[in-house]
Amino acid sequence: MTRSRPHAGRALAHLAALAFAALAFAAAAQEPFPSRPVRLVVPVAAGGGIDTAFRAIAPAWSEKLGQQVVVENKPGGGQVLGSDLVAKSKPDGYTLLAPGVPIAFNTALGRKLPYDAIRDFTPVSHVVSQPLLVVVGPNVPVKTMSELFAYAKAQKAPLQYTSGGIGSYGHLWWEMVRSRQGIDGQHIAYNGIAPALKDVMGGQVPLLIDAIVPTGAQVKAGTVRGLAIVSAQRAKSLPELPTLAEQGYTGLDAAPFYGVLGPAGMDPAVVQRLSSTLQQALAMPAVREKLQEQGFDVVASSPEAYAKLIRDEIERWSKVVREQGIRVE
């Protein structure tokens, strides 16, 4: 007579369940990326340059990637809040960051950060850049860079100027330029570009250095006067505005840059998938034309080139910060 063995049956059932779970896990692990929407954290408020660029790119990138790229604004702390969120996310490729220059500048300025700009992120691509503009108020009697330098040197007091804020690209760039030109200057800090532009248009501050988006629109409207574009070539959106080199000033080119990063530790195959599809999206004529009309220069670099850019920018502007004694509270 053979007796049943309930304990053995339960053990076999348990083993079968474990095997099924292992197979399911393996299948999930082998599931091609991406299998769900990708979250793209933009660490500034809606309407800024970064937001404008990536909302123009996201539909085409979604098409090439095969999943929706969802742009999510997470402003705060000079892009620190959104950057920290991504740095601490799971490195599976489903949470990405679209930072601007603060990814390098916050380090160059010596800010205490909850992440390391090099170690805690995985570069995907340097996506676009946009040139700086040098503009003056309508009542400032200068039309060229040489006239601006002469005007600044003739002032009894340091020439006041403004930018997108303390530690912005415009702020650090003008500190470098005025130092080389032997000009005294006083930075008037505003909380963002909108109030700074308003006071330059109104004559309260004579000089502004800022990116072409959104300042270029005011140059077109005639509310401020453009003197130069800080770029190797003229901008498609402002073709009448000469470059610095055309006016005889070389070695001063600089451009705010926007890219895509993921958390540290991402699978190289996932990084390659994200980077290649992003480059495909940026190669689409309609996307390139839209970005160029807005004032952006399309770059679409490799992950390695973007990593090098961040390191180089940290080194370059750390030197300016030290030499000029710039402090950010």
Token pair 């760039």: residue: 173
DSSP secondary structure letters along 228-285: EEESSS-BTTBTTSPBTGGGT--S-----EEEEEEETT--HHHHHHHHHHHHHHHTSH
Domains in the chain: boundaries: 38-129+256-324, 132-247
Cut 0.95: pTM above it? no
Convert the pLDDT of each residue in 129-180 to its tens digit.
999 999 999 999 999 999 999 999 999 999 999 998 888 889 999 999 998 9
Q: What is the pLDDT of residue 258?
A: 96
Q: Is the pLDDT of residue 24 over 50?
A: no
Query: Homologous superfamily of 132-247 in CATH?
Result: Periplasmic binding protein-like II (3.40.190.10)
Question: Average pLDDT, stretch 198-204?
Answer: 96
Would you call the peptide bond into 34 cis, given omega within 30 degrees of 0 as the criterion?
A: yes
Task: Report helix, strand and coil shares of the chain as percent, to nearest 5.
Answer: 45, 20, 35
Least Cα distance to 41 among 91, 82, 89, 100 occurs for 82
**Surface-to-core class of residue 291, CB atoms within 10 Å of its CB (0-12 exposed, 13-18 middle, 19+ buried):** buried
Task: pLDDT band for 10, please (50, 70, 90 cuts).
Answer: low
Percentage with pLDDT > 90 across the chain = 69
The mean pLDDT value of the chain amounts to 89
Task: Say which residue, 198 or 21, is predicted with more confidence.
Answer: 198
Task: pLDDT band for 121, please (50, 70, 90 cuts).
Answer: very high
Q: What is the pLDDT of residue 237?
A: 86
Same fold flag, 38-129+256-324 and 132-247: yes
Measured over the CA atoms of residue 125, residue 250, residue 312 and residue 171, the dihedral's sign is: negative
Q: What is the pLDDT of residue 298?
A: 94
Token pair 């004032």: residue: 295
Q: Is the pLDDT of residue 26 over 50?
A: no
**Surface-to-core class of residue 124, CB atoms within 10 Å of its CB (0-12 exposed, 13-18 middle, 19+ buried):** buried
Look at 108-112, 188-192, 281-285 and tell me which has the smallest mean pLDDT: 188-192
Task: pLDDT band for 123, please (50, 70, 90 cuts).
Answer: very high
> What is the third-level CATH fold of 38-129+256-324?
D-Maltodextrin-Binding Protein; domain 2 (3.40.190)
Tell me the one-letter amino acid at 188: I
Q: What is the pLDDT of residue 285?
A: 97
Which residues make beta-bridge pairs with 297?
129
Q: What is the pLDDT of residue 46?
A: 84
Task: pLDDT band for 229, please (50, 70, 90 cuts).
Answer: very high
Q: What is the pLDDT of residue 214?
A: 84
Q: How is residue 41 written in tokens?
A: 């954290």
